[in-house]
């Protein structure tokens, strides 16, 4: 018996989506230090009562943190995002998400590790403007 998918795939066949879901689970089990730190502050509805998921598949992409109620993706960017190949991938993913009404908030790993308060304020500012009261 398989678990019901949280996000219904729209453009991806089921086999590909299952592979992406398995990869997301592996990523959840091996977070970066910045992802781990931010997750400790977002989990269990700690930020304004909004529920976040981490390493969430959305169609053929995996996003770092996703708040479905607010339509917000929080992406943590490290040095790997500086390569031209990764920048093109990020741009393609951003277009896909934005076409579906999802807003992407990009945050640098260093900012998460060294200035968590301002990161949480940035996220809370967005949630306050778009409060749909979960």
* Digit-coded pLDDT (tens) for 43-99: 999 999 999 999 999 988 999 999 999 999 999 998 776 788 888 989 999 999 999
Domain-located, residue 4: no
C-alpha separations of 133 from 49, 57, 82, 83 in Å: 8, 23, 36, 38
**What pTM was estimated for this model as a whole?**
0.85
Using pLDDT thresholds of 50, 70 and 90, give the confidence band for residue 29. very high
Using pLDDT thresholds of 50, 70 and 90, give the confidence band for residue 10. low
Query: Comparing 18-22, 28-32, 81-85, which segment has the lowest mean pLDDT?
Result: 81-85
> What is the enclosing helix (H) or strand (E) of 102?
none
DSSP state of 79: G
Residue 37 belongs to domain with CATH number: 3.40.960.10
Please state, in angstroms and rounded to a whole number, the distance separating the CA atoms of residues 127 and 49: 10
Domain-located, residue 25: no
Count: domains in the chain: 1
Domain-located, residue 59: yes
pLDDT at position 81 is 65
Please state, in angstroms and rounded to a whole number, the distance separating the CA atoms of residues 19 and 110: 30
Q: Which residues share a beta bridge with 63?
A: 56
Domain-located, residue 6: no
């Amino acid at each position: 018996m398989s678990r019901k998918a949280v996000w219904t795939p729209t453009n991806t066949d089921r086999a590909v989506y299952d592979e992406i879901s398995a990869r997301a689970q592996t990523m959840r089990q091996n977070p970066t230090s910045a992802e781990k730190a931010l997750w400790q502050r977002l989990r269990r509805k700690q930020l304004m009562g909004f529920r976040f998921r981490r390493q969430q598949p959305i169609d053929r992409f995996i996003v770092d943190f996703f708040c479905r109620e607010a339509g917000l993706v929080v992406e943590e960017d490290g040095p790997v995002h500086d390569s031209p190949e990764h920048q093109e991938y990020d741009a393609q993913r951003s277009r896909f998400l934005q076409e579906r009404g999802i807003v992407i908030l990009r945050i640098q790993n260093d900012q998460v590790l060294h200035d968590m308060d301002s990161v949480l304020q940035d996220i809370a500012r967005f949630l306050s403007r778009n409060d749909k009261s979960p």
